[in-house]
Structure 1
Amino acid sequence: MASESNKMGLIGLTTIVTVNMMGSGIIMLPASLAQTGGISLLSWLVTAVGAMCIAYAFAKCGMYCNKDGGMSAYSAEAHGKSSFFIASYTYYVCLVISAVAIAVSAVGYLEPFIPWLKTGPIHTFIGVITILMITMFANFKGPKITGQISTFTVWGIILPVVGLSIFGWFWFDPSVFSAAWNPHHLGTGDAISSGIALTLWAFLGIESAGANSGAVDNPKRNVPLACLLATSFTAIVYIASTSVIQGIVPNEVLATSNAPFGLVYSYMFNDTVGKIVTGLAVVACIGSLLGWQFTNAQVSKAAADIRLFPKIFADVTKDNAPIKGMLIMLVLELGLAVMTISPSLVKQFNVLLNLAVFINMVPYILSLTALEIILRENKVSRSEYFNAAIIGTLAVVYSMYGVYACGQDAVFYGTLVTLFGYIFYGFIAARDKNAALAAAK
Structure 2
Amino acid sequence: MSSNKKMGLTQLTILVAVNMMGSGIIMLPANLAQVGAISMLSWAVTAVGSMCIAYAFAQCGFFCSRSGGMSAYAEEAHGKSAFFLCSYTYFISLAIANVAIALTCVGYAAEFIPWLSASPINTCIGTIAILMITCAANFGGPSLTGKIAGVTVWGVIIPVAGLSVIGWFWFDFDTFKMAWNPHNLSMGNAVSSSIALTLWAFLGMESACANSDAVENPKKNVPLACLFGTAGAAVVYILSTGVMQGIVPNAELALSTSPFGLVFAHMFNPTVGMIVTVLAVIACIGSLLGWQFTIAQVSKAASDANLFPSIFSKVTKNDAPIVGMLIITAAECVFSLMTISPNLSKQFEAVVNLAVFTNVVPYILALSGLIVIMRKAQVTAAVYKRNLIITMVAITYSFYGLYAAGTEAVFWGALVTVAGYVFYGFKAYEFERKSIEPSIVPSINDEHMPTAIA
Check whether TM > 0.5: yes
2:69 maps to 1:70: yes
Question: In structure 2, what residue type is equivalent to 1:43?
Answer: S
Gaps of 5+ in 1: none
Cα drift, residue 342 of structure 1: 2.4
The TM-score normalised by the length of structure 1 is 0.97
Equivalent residue pairs, number: 440
- Looking at structure 1, the residues matched to 116 and 312 of structure 2 have their Cα atoms a distance apart, in angstroms, of 34
- Looking at structure 2, the residues matched to 260 and 141 of structure 1 have their Cα atoms a distance apart, in angstroms, of 34
Matched residue, 2:131: 132
| Match runs of 1:39-438 below 5 Å | 39-433=38-432
Q: Greater Rg, structure 1 or structure 2?
A: 2
Residues 63, 210 of structure 1: 8 Å contact kept: no
- Looking at structure 1, the residues matched to 294 and 61 of structure 2 have their Cα atoms a distance apart, in angstroms, of 18
Identity over aligned pairs, percent: 62
Cα drift, residue 67 of structure 1: 2.1
- Looking at structure 2, the residues matched to 406 and 38 of structure 1 have their Cα atoms a distance apart, in angstroms, of 19
Give the direction of change, closer, same or farther, for the CA distance of 1:111–1:58 in structure 2 (3 Å limit): same
| Match runs of 1:23-42 below 5 Å | 23-42=22-41
Cα drift, residue 252 of structure 1: 0.7
Give the direction of change, closer, same or farther, for the CA distance of 1:386–1:267 in structure 2 (3 Å limit): same
Give the direction of change, closer, same or farther, for the CA distance of 1:214–1:346 in structure 2 (3 Å limit): same
- Looking at structure 2, the residues matched to 362 and 281 of structure 1 have their Cα atoms a distance apart, in angstroms, of 30
Cα drift, residue 118 of structure 1: 2.1
Cα drift, residue 103 of structure 1: 0.3
The TM-score normalised by the length of structure 2 is 0.94
Which string of whole-angstrom CA distances, capped at 9 and with x for unpartnered residues, describes residues 203-229 of structure 1?
000010110101111000100011111
Gaps of 5+ in 2: 444-454
Matched residue, 1:3: 2
Matched residue, 2:448: none
> Mean Cα displacement is larger for which, 377-386 or 287-296?
377-386
Cα drift, residue 5 of structure 1: 2.2
Which string of whole-angstrom CA distances, capped at 9 and with x for unpartnered residues, describes residues 36-86 of structure 1?
111111000100100110111111112232322211111011111000110
Which string of whole-angstrom CA distances, capped at 9 and with x for unpartnered residues, describes residues 225-281 of structure 1?
111111111000000000011111111111111000000000000000000001111
Cα drift, residue 437 of structure 1: 8.7
Residues 69, 302 of structure 1: 8 Å contact kept: no
Residues 119, 343 of structure 2: 8 Å contact kept: no
Cα drift, residue 375 of structure 1: 2.1
Cα drift, residue 166 of structure 1: 0.4
> Mean Cα displacement is larger for which, 412-421 or 319-328?
319-328
- Looking at structure 2, the residues matched to 112 and 224 of structure 1 have their Cα atoms a distance apart, in angstroms, of 41
Question: In structure 1, what residue type is equivalent to 2:279?
Answer: L
Which string of whole-angstrom CA distances, capped at 9 and with x for unpartnered residues, describes residues 93-125 of structure 1?
111110001100000000122122122222222
- Looking at structure 2, the residues matched to 120 and 28 of structure 1 have their Cα atoms a distance apart, in angstroms, of 18
- Looking at structure 1, the residues matched to 160 and 429 of structure 2 have their Cα atoms a distance apart, in angstroms, of 50
> Mean Cα displacement is larger for which, 408-417 or 431-440?
431-440
Cα RMSD (Å): 1.4
Question: In structure 2, what residue type is equivalent to 1:252?
Answer: A
Cα drift, residue 315 of structure 1: 1.7
Residues 304, 310 of structure 2: 8 Å contact kept: yes
Question: In structure 1, what residue type is equivalent to 2:250?
Answer: N
- Looking at structure 2, the residues matched to 389 and 316 of structure 1 have their Cα atoms a distance apart, in angstroms, of 42
Residues 172, 246 of structure 2: 8 Å contact kept: yes
Cα drift, residue 292 of structure 1: 1.7
- Looking at structure 2, the residues matched to 260 and 368 of structure 1 have their Cα atoms a distance apart, in angstroms, of 35
Residues 213, 223 of structure 1: 8 Å contact kept: yes
Cα drift, residue 290 of structure 1: 1.6
- Looking at structure 2, the residues matched to 143 and 59 of structure 1 have their Cα atoms a distance apart, in angstroms, of 28
SS at match of 1:140: coil
- Looking at structure 1, the residues matched to 406 and 121 of structure 2 have their Cα atoms a distance apart, in angstroms, of 27
> Mean Cα displacement is larger for which, 143-152 or 40-49?
143-152
Residues 117, 344 of structure 2: 8 Å contact kept: no
Question: In structure 2, what residue type is equivalent to 1:294?
Answer: F
Residues 61, 210 of structure 1: 8 Å contact kept: no
- Looking at structure 2, the residues matched to 9 and 181 of structure 1 have their Cα atoms a distance apart, in angstroms, of 40
SS at match of 1:95: helix
